[in-house]
A and B are shown apart, each in its own frame.
Chain A
Amino acid sequence: MAETVEKIKLLKSSPDLSAATYQIHDESHTIGNSLRWMIMKNPKVEFCGYSVPHPSENVINIRIQMYDNASSVDALIDALSQLDKVCEAVEDSYLASLREGKFERWEERY
């Protein structure tokens, strides 16, 4: 590997970071759409959108604009940890359903 690239970088922003565009490396719609949804759930966020600028470049751009000059980095970090919690909650409830065992079981699992 000749050069390392940063996972996330700032493309453009206002001086106080209340409106910023981030570029995330090696991610796609998989993270982009979920993250956009989670960021939009934050009432302090005025606007959030994401795009895959070109299909053969594996990057996504995320634009966040905040109300009242709040920090978009905070919104981003909050959204990431909330998404993480969603994953955990789904995992827990999956395991709970598995333990409950109220489903059709066909062959013996290995």
Chain B
Amino acid sequence: MQGHDDGEPTVRIREVKKDRVNFVLGNVDLAFANSLRRVMMADIPTVAIDMVEIETNTSVLPDEFIAHRLGMVPLVSANCDEAIRYTRDCVCLAGCSFCSMILELKVSCHDDNTMDVTSDHLEVVPFPPDEESADPGEELSKRGEWFGHPVGKHDRNVPPVLITKIRKGQELKIRCIAKKGIAKEHAKFSPCSAVSFEYDPHNKLRHTTYWYETDIKGEWPLSENAKEEEAPRDDEPFNFNAKPNKFYFEVETDGSLGPQEVVMKGLAELQTKLANLILGLKIGGADQIDIMPDDVPVPHVPPPDNAWSGGDPNTWGMHAGSASGGSSSGWSQTSPTRGGAGSQWSNDASWGGATGTAGWASASSPQTNGWKQ
């Protein structure tokens, strides 16, 4: 713990597993470490089931329930940057092979025992040729063998995700459309199931206050990370100039991306944000300096990769995962006014997005998917 940060940032990887990486980040500011954490949780694109058409559902769960559960299934999203487009950036009208994947779930139970319907029953099907767009694109060739498939489908050691259970005579016939998105839009797109982040395990900086009954040390056991730092003496005076300098990360993924990929993509995503800002300054900035004090409108900058504009206005089918609504906002700001919609930010039409994001608003068109309002 130093009063100033000196020298290059350091990274020490402590542990690598298939689904997680544990590392210590040093010599950076708390603000930067937090940016990295936020960006890994909320800004990395993945694919997830976004729209669900239900042809038959005779199971005990209602359609929305199943649609929501399908949205949560992690899909293999390696190389998502190159392998798939956002539908809003695509030339197609409502989805094509460049910006979406189709998964089908067709199961029926003919057995006397209860049958588990799991993510292993989801089959990726090729796009029908008539919906194929003629647009040339390299996306398809950039996809790995299992891109868009449920995580663990081809690995016997990974247990599948249970979607529902059906008994004899019950049937599910569902067509799902998976799209690319980021977790700010809906938490199902987050590649991370958890990111643990700790600094100052001895609480020398007094950034937190522990509640206790009688004995603070007995009631608040130290974390493993406390071994990395020297414990303060009991009579040590409080150093109000001290700044946190070591940050303990553990990035745990849901399998849609590898943990290494999440960290690297997180850093790359931060750099993209900075680059977009510099670009915005360079384009708008030059004029600002000339014509400064009056409020002359500055030339418009092409909106870089706008994640906020919501989904496609022409959505049909219900929004997978939207039933959760509030749960999508794992971080600070939750908009209380839009409980149901997946996107927290979507409620400003002037941002140029479709006003009703592909949420309930558009799902309510009567002929959507056979369920009556």
Which residues from chain A sit less than 8 Å from chain B, CB to CB?
1-10, 13, 15-17, 24-31, 33-34, 36-37, 52, 55-58, 71, 73, 76-77, 80-81, 83-84, 86-91, 93-94, 96-98, 102-110
* Contact residue among A4, A87, A107 (Cβ-Cβ distance under 8 Å from B270): A87
| Bound CA–CA A9/B277 (angstroms) | 11
Write out, one digit per residue, whether chain B residues 266-282 have a CB within 8 A of any chain A CB (1) or not (0): 01101101111111110
| Bound CA–CA A109/B274 (angstroms) | 31
- Distance to closest chain A CB from B102 (angstroms): 25
* Contact residue among A7, A55, A97 (Cβ-Cβ distance under 8 Å from B280): A7
Known: A37-B32, A77-B278, A93-B11. A105 touches B351 (CB 8 A): no
Known: A1-B353, A6-B301. A109 touches B276 (CB 8 A): no
A108 touches B18 (CB 8 A): yes
**B39 part of interface (Cβ distance < 8 Å):** yes
Chain B residues within 8 Å of A30, by CB: 35, 38-39, 42-43, 270, 273
B267 touches A55 (CB 8 A): no
A7 touches B332 (CB 8 A): no
**B352 part of interface (Cβ distance < 8 Å):** yes
| Bound CA–CA A15/B291 (angstroms) | 9
* Contact residue among B35, B332, B350 (Cβ-Cβ distance under 8 Å from A31): B35
Give the residue name and chain of the A residue nearest to B19 (CB). Answer: A107
How many interface residues does chain B have, given as a range? Answer: 35 or more
How many pairs, one residue from A and one from B, have CB atoms within 8 Å of each other in the complex?
Answer: 186
Which residues from chain B sit less than 8 Å from chain A, CB to CB?
8-18, 22-23, 25, 28-29, 31-32, 34-36, 38-39, 42-43, 258, 260, 263-264, 267-268, 270-271, 273-281, 284-285, 288-289, 292-293, 298-304, 306-309, 332-335, 337, 344-345, 347-348, 350-353
- Distance to closest chain B CB from A68 (angstroms): 17
Known: A26-B306, A33-B31, A80-B277. A103 touches B333 (CB 8 A): no
B35 touches A34 (CB 8 A): yes
A103 touches B14 (CB 8 A): yes
A7 touches B352 (CB 8 A): no
Closest 6 CB pairs of A and B: A7-B280, A55-B333, A1-B352, A37-B31, A33-B31, A8-B280
Q: A1-B306, A4-B301, A58-B345 are in contact. List 16 more A-B contacts (CB 8 A).
A: A5-B300, A6-B299, A6-B301, A17-B289, A30-B270, A34-B35, A55-B332, A55-B334, A56-B345, A77-B281, A83-B32, A87-B270, A91-B268, A93-B9, A102-B13, A103-B15
B285 touches A73 (CB 8 A): yes
B298 touches A34 (CB 8 A): no
Chain B residues within 8 Å of A7, by CB: 276-277, 279-280, 284, 301, 303-304
| Bound CA–CA A37/B5 (angstroms) | 12
Question: Which among A58, A87, A110 has the greatest number of chain B C-beta atoms within 10 A?
Answer: A87
Known: A37-B31, A106-B18. A56 touches B300 (CB 8 A): no
| Bound CA–CA A37/B31 (angstroms) | 7
